[in-house]
Amino acid sequence: MLIRQSSYISKLSKNELKKNSILNSMEKCLFSIDPRRTFVLDSLKNSSVQVLNSNNLDERPPFICTDSVNCPFYKEAKNIDLIELLKKTNSQRVSKNLAQKSQKSMVKNAHELFDYEKFLNKKITDKKNDGSYRYFKKVIRHAETFPKVQQLENNHELREITIWCSNDYLGLGRHPYVQSKVVEAVIKYGAGSGGTRNISGSTPLHYKLEDELASLHQKEAALLFTSCYVANDTSLYTLAKMLPNCHIVSDSGNHASMIQGIRNSNVPRTIFRHNDVEHLEEILKNLPANIPKIVAFESVHSMDGSICDLHKMCDITHKYGGIAFVDEVHAVGLYGHNGAGIGERDKALDKMDIITGTLGKAFGNIGGYIAGSSNLIDTIRSYGSGFIFTTSLPPPVLAGSLASIEISRSNEGRELRQKHQFYSKLVKEKLIKAGFPVMNSPSHIVPVLVGNVKAASGICERLSNDHGIYIQAINYPTVARGEERLRIVPNPHHTMKMIDDLVFSLVDAWIKTGLSLN
């Protein structure tokens, strides 16, 4: 039995097909191969059918051409042996079933060869046993009451607590002007950006915010990222891979995002002691003079609150032919006349080749950015995978960030920074007077050294349960083992009473945990 294959499909009634059991088998067979095919029988008296295959069902003719010579739609096709076709189809079905059974067997065998669930469960159990497992508190942050928030317990009980660990350093995330701009943007533009920057995801707000950030840091250009983690990772990786024979010199205290980008680049790297200018110079002068060098460090350290000597770090970097990559994440919005960070405060912006910052801390929104020369920014824009292949920041975030920067550059922003610094200094003084081992920190961050993971976590639990105070213990891997600490962050919206309550409550929790005061 032969099938002639043509270029279009038409349908015959099922009653006609049923007249011949062999043709009915053909129908089932061919439908299983391609459900877009139907049959036209030249004649039920002979043993051949013509299969009409359509590439465009919408353009197929509403008739069947029986005149193969004059029909404009007819195409001569090869003869197909129906019996062989049926055998082949059946064989394909059997093979498919065997493949499915084999796949299930492979999955079963894989778990017999290695018990993934058991392994993963043990890793989690290990963290719970050593006290470094992270439990996330469920916090409902009401804009009108911040820094007082509600903690959700047992999925239904609400309890008021005072938060002392928020990175919304100035409370701009709940500022009425910022809120109004966010609401205005979401009504006007919608919730999301709709794409990557390259594919429909670049709006006037993106360019406006980038221009504003470039102006803030006195640079030629800036580039937005979904977070500063991505900004650091992408920028360091991209530059290090592109610069020929590049060598990275990295501060030992650098954030995980910088470490990630450096490691992924696989270029030679050397670590210098945290903020140690002499050690940095010793390393740089022993490197070949003619190779590109990136010196990466933070202006304000996130966990110990130290501030680098920005002028010396940049000067030494340039002396040996390097470029300074400076993370200002914990400084933007908080230092300088306009809130541009330590670079502005110390009048060193012109020495900083690459500045990275965040919109998610002092500016109270989310996202990250880099600022630098036009060529540098365009290079990251053109080659940085972490920028290219991800959805861009949504309009409400852009509008909120623009509003926050506007406040930061105003007298109101300067007043907030002044009050913030005053409260930070006051909290340090009161804690030191009470006998706490407050680490030396010239910044707004107040680190209290505990040195034991279980004790640090225990203090925080007592503060929360007994006193309604939320401080987060900082444990490994954020800090080295043995350097566990409490990281306290005052806010200009705290009150004097809240500060006094904090000190009293911390003394109580500290002593009940079995620790002594100086």
Instruction: Enumerate the active-site residues.
Output: 361
If you write DSSP's letter for every residue of 346-367 in order, what string do you get?
A: TT-GGG-SEEEEESSSTTSS--
Q: Quote the CA–CA distance of 371 and 209 in Å, as a whole number.
A: 12
C-alpha R_g of the chain: 33
Q: Quote the CA–CA distance of 285 and 5 in Å, as a whole number.
A: 78
The partner residues of 474 in beta bridges, in order of sequence, read 485
CA angle 182, 184, 190 (to 5 degrees): 85
Cβ–Cβ under 8 Å, residues 290 and 314: no
Q: Which two tokens stand for residue 206?
A: 């993106």
Q: Quote the CA–CA distance of 11 and 6 in Å, as a whole number.
A: 14
Helix or strand run (H / E) with residue 269: strand 269-272
Sign of CA dihedral 145, 147, 148, 154: positive
Helix or strand run (H / E) with residue 178: helix 176-189
Q: Which two tokens stand for residue 57?
A: 């069902």
Q: Which of 444, 445, 442, 428 is nearest to 502 (CA)?
A: 428
If you write DSSP's letter for every residue of 70-122 in order, what string do you get?
A: T-TT-----EEEHHHHHHHHHHHHHHHHHHHHHHHHHHHHHHHH--HHHHHHH
Q: Quote the CA–CA distance of 245 and 43 in Å, as a whole number.
A: 77
Q: Quote the CA–CA distance of 403 and 382 in Å, as a whole number.
A: 28
Tokens 């051409």 label which residue?
A: 65
Q: Which two tokens stand for residue 300?
A: 């304000």
Cβ–Cβ under 8 Å, residues 408 and 215: no
Q: Quote the CA–CA distance of 168 and 362 in Å, as a whole number.
A: 5
- Determine what percent of the chain falls in helix, strand and coil, rounding each to the nearest 5: 45, 15, 40
Cβ–Cβ under 8 Å, residues 224 and 367: yes
Q: Quote the CA–CA distance of 373 and 248 in Å, as a whole number.
A: 20
> Can you tell me whether residue 243 is helix, strand or coil?
coil
